[in-house]
A and B are shown apart, each in its own frame.
Chain A
Amino acid sequence: MRAVGIILAGGNSAKMGDLTNKRAVAAMPIAGSFRSIDFALSNMSNSHVGRVAVLTQFNSRSLNEHLNSSKWWDFGRKNGGLYVFTPTITKENGDWYRGTADAIYQNLDFLKRSHEPYVIIASADAVCKMDYSKILEYHIDKKADITIVCTKADGIDVSRFGTIKVNEDGQVVEFEEKSGTSDYDMISTGVYVIRRRLLIDLIEEAAEEEKFDFVKDILVRYKNVKRMCAYVNDTYWRNIATVEDYYETNMDFLKEDVRKHFWREYPPVYSKVTDLPPAKYNPGASVKNSLVSSGCIVNGTVDNSLLFKKVFVGNNCVIKNSIILNDVYLGDNIYIENCIVESHSTLRANSRYVGEGEIKIVAEEGERYDW
């Protein structure tokens, strides 16, 4: 491959509410068995990008745990592989990453010591399948300085994204970052292709001027100076960085076409393999239109919901339109509707959790009995 990869996984999101209290957005569990960053990592791996740096700083324990071995994404290689860069104190620098450009700047040696001519930058909070090698081809064909992967803004709240206006030639003529409202119908997916040498120059320049944000201080600033092209992604793409989007994205996996796209069509999405037994359905289990992950034991009713790994559902429980994250224990006779139950929660028997009008986030650290 002619490119190295950078995955920006640093972010917190205030819009994720309590869900990012204990993990970065990149480590959010998705679709029962995955984490958000698995999609970017699998895309890198499936596009044969052999050297990938993950830049992370916020609440990275959970993410580091997930990335404790690079073999699951086939990065366990003698040459190249996966590099996880958290901020470190050096002679020159004692700061955290002050922005995405700063994060790259603080690890500029990674880029300087690479020999691949291009860099693919991806964000870790999107659920999508992308073939980066096709995007790179497009980038070279278009003789672009920077290629921005976009998607149609249909039905997406554009206020959280960079919006883009593209001319007939595919060139970016306008780029607004998180402007609130926008007339442009394309949004940036946070995936970029750029020549490595150029990226180093731009990053060094920004650092000299004490500018730290890759989008605002580089992309928006140079939108009319550098030749920027838009590559349009027309397959499934969702950003998960708000509670609503996170919920909706997970619920999308109850749709057959979404499951088919991610799980039945080549290439596969990889994740860390856990050694959990198959899911178990005891007498009393009634599961409809739901996803159930390995290690679950179900004794109650689950309807239109997702059970992540190692969830225990007690007798006479009813779970509706909800997402139960990893390693949750539900005692008997619990009613849950329109909720996201935080991982490792233990919910007491006979309790009731209902999200009225919005999705309720439930996190309870009750006493756990052995089961």
Chain B
Amino acid sequence: MVKKEMIAMLLAGGQGSRLGVLTSKVAKPAVAFGGKYRIIDFPLSNCINSNVDTVGVLTQYQPLRLNTHIGIGIPWDLDRNVGGVSILSPHEKNTGSEWYAGTANAIYQNLDYMEEFNPDYVLILSGDHIYKMDYEEMLAFHKKNNADVTIAVMPVPIEEASRFGVVIADEEHRIQEFEEKPKHPRSNLASMGIYIFSWPALKESLLACSDVPGCDFGKHVIPYCHEKGERIFAYEFTGYWKDVGTLSSYWEANMELIDIVPEFNLYEDYWKIYTKSSAIPPQYVSDKGSITRCIVGNDSEINGQINSCVIGAGVTIGEGSVVKNSIIMKDVTIGSGCVIDKAIIAENVTIGDNVTLGIGSDVPNNFRPDIYNSELVTIGENSVIPDGVQIGKNTAISGVTTKEDYENGILESGGTLIKAGDR
């Protein structure tokens, strides 16, 4: 008989629209991070490091990159005879077809998958956070409290607590009340979107809530369990945890890796982060190159000056180019004589010679100031930037652009240049 004590369900279907052009072609969990990784590598590695060897990955938005990245799970040792990693996409049923309409709805539509493994516990994860966490410890906490549901929470500064769903727990960590983005928070414990459910509680609540439109854990399932009087506990996590949902937080989390001893350290042998890496050759720094305060991926060729950057694999930077405070994802080619400051350049972008990125003043973006801000230049994957153009701050570019797209060779600060079909 097949039996797994705890299986994980990893929600990876969201677009992450606040990452703008970075997620126009890929789901947020597939966005590159830290010069080598993709965001989903963190929860997946946490799973295998926590001895959770059965993981269902729920995909919906632009799943191609995720599918090829995960494959049969070899990099995470999740290629198993029983269990391992399975990609769970929305599918047609004889009762009708529907997309995943909410976090809990997505899990509900995969009850059959979970049932196959006879789990005692189900771990619900989201695929868009950067952290290292031992889910086994959380499970021990869950068992010790004889809980029906355990929610991972972390203390945040009380003035920021109003941005989160916060929980109010008693001395025994049992949750008394929930507040969703409260104006005057009564607690600083924010929910991290990580849950352990005892299987009967999960199954019962998903079935009970199955008719709720857009059924969501935070909004519907947890309140339902709470009302029913189930034992819900808060598991306090105090390590590094970063939501990289916005361009500025994504940029910051990458830049934090550059610190001499970063708070989130990828260089420890303990609790390794695994990923599918295709580039094996070492990186080459030429006589003309200079690198300081950077992390650089395999197979890159650096001929320019780079300072405070996170550079992916297979990147070429031409002679005389100066790149600062930027995130350059894999297979990007930057010509010679470029000056680049505070840019996020997605995979496989080609930048011509003598291009300037990130100059001028801090003018708000004309298209989506809520997305493109913090003086960042954001360039979507497979874009092409022609020789000699200048691009200002708070800008977004996507698609193959030519000289004609730049008035007088300039995209002013706050400008947006998204070629047809790429929005």
Contacts and interface: CB of A to CB of B under 8 A. Distances in A.
B43 to A, nearest CB: 16
A282 B294 CA distance: 7
Nearest to A282: B260
Contacts of B260: 282-283
Nearest to B274: A275
Interface stretch (B107-115, B169-177, B280-288, B385-393): B280-288
Interface string A279-299: 111111111111111110100
B281 A263 contact: yes
26 contacts: A31-B282, A32-B282, A33-B280, A33-B281, A34-B280, A259-B284, A263-B299, A269-B281, A275-B273, A277-B34, A277-B36, A277-B273, A277-B295, A278-B36, A280-B267, A280-B295, A280-B296, A287-B289, A288-B286, A291-B283, A292-B282, A292-B284, A293-B283, A293-B298, A295-B267, A308-B282
- Dominant SS at the A interface? loop
Contacts of A292: 282-285, 296
A273 interface: yes
A176 B147 CA distance: 79
A307 B269 CA distance: 19
Contact of B298 (A282, A289, A294): A294
Contact of A289 (B266, B273, B286): B286
Nearest to B258: A280
A271 interface: yes
B75 interface: yes
Interface string B260-292: 100000110000111101001111111101111
A283 B75 contact: no
Contact of B285 (A263, A271, A287): A287
Nearest to A69: B74
Given A280-B267, A281-B296, A282-B292, A289 B36 contact: no
A277 B266 contact: yes
Contacts, number: 108
A313 B280 CA distance: 21
Which size class do A's interface residues fall under?
35 or more
Given A31-B282, A33-B282, A285 B287 contact: no
Contacts of B285: 287-290, 292
A132 interface: no
Contacts of B297: 278-279, 294
B281 A259 contact: yes
A201 B277 CA distance: 45
Contact of A279 (B74, B273, B289, B295): B295
Contacts of A306: 282
Interface string A165-186: 0000000000000000000000
A168 to B, nearest CB: 40
Interface in A8-51: 31-34
A285 B284 CA distance: 14
Given A71-B74, A289-B285, A292-B285, A33 B292 contact: no
Nearest to A280: B295
A308 B298 CA distance: 12
Contacts of B266: 277
A298 B311 CA distance: 15
B286 A284 contact: no
Interface of A: 31-34, 71, 254, 259, 262-263, 268-271, 273, 275, 277-295, 297, 306-308, 371
Contacts of B35: 277-278
Contacts of B313: 278
B75 A273 contact: yes
A280 B294 contact: yes
B368 interface: no
B73 to A, nearest CB: 12
B186 interface: no
B282 A294 contact: yes
A142 B102 CA distance: 67
A288 B289 contact: yes
A81 to B, nearest CB: 15
B267 A269 contact: no
A204 B284 CA distance: 49
Contacts of A290: 284-285
Given A33-B281, A293-B298, A285 B292 contact: yes
B54 to A, nearest CB: 21
A269 B313 CA distance: 16
B293 A269 contact: no
A371 B267 CA distance: 9
A287 B291 contact: yes
Interface in B292-316: 292-299, 311, 313
Contacts of A277: 34-36, 266-267, 273, 295
Nearest to B276: A273
A270 B297 CA distance: 17
Contacts of B274: 275
A278 B284 contact: no
A288 B287 CA distance: 5
A281 B292 contact: yes
A281 B293 contact: yes
B281 A31 contact: yes
A281 B291 contact: yes
Interface in B317-374: none
A285 B35 CA distance: 18
A291 B284 contact: yes
Contacts of A288: 285-287, 289-290
Given A281-B294, A287-B289, A293-B298, A32 B273 contact: no
Contacts of B298: 33, 278, 293-294
A296 to B, nearest CB: 9
A82 to B, nearest CB: 16
Contacts of A283: 260, 292-293
A269 B295 CA distance: 24
Contacts of B280: 33-34, 268-271, 273
A336 B35 CA distance: 29
Contacts of B295: 277-281
Contacts of A294: 36, 282, 297-298
A253 to B, nearest CB: 8
Interface string B27-43: 00000001110000000
A276 to B, nearest CB: 9
Given A286-B290, A287-B289, A288-B289, A278 B282 contact: no
B277 A273 contact: yes
Q: Which of A34, A254, A268, A273 has the most CB of B within 10 A?
A: A273
A285 B299 contact: no
A307 B285 CA distance: 11
* Across the A-B interface, the 8 shortest Cβ-Cβ residue pairs: A32-B282, A278-B35, A277-B266, A293-B282, A291-B282, A281-B291, A287-B285, A263-B281
A308 B282 CA distance: 8
In this complex, which of A34, A71, A294 has the most chain B Cβ atoms within 10 angstroms of its Cβ?
A294
Contacts of B75: 273, 275
A275 B282 CA distance: 14
A112 B42 CA distance: 48
A306 to B, nearest CB: 7
Q: Which of B34, B35, B274, B281 has the most CB of A within 10 A?
A: B281
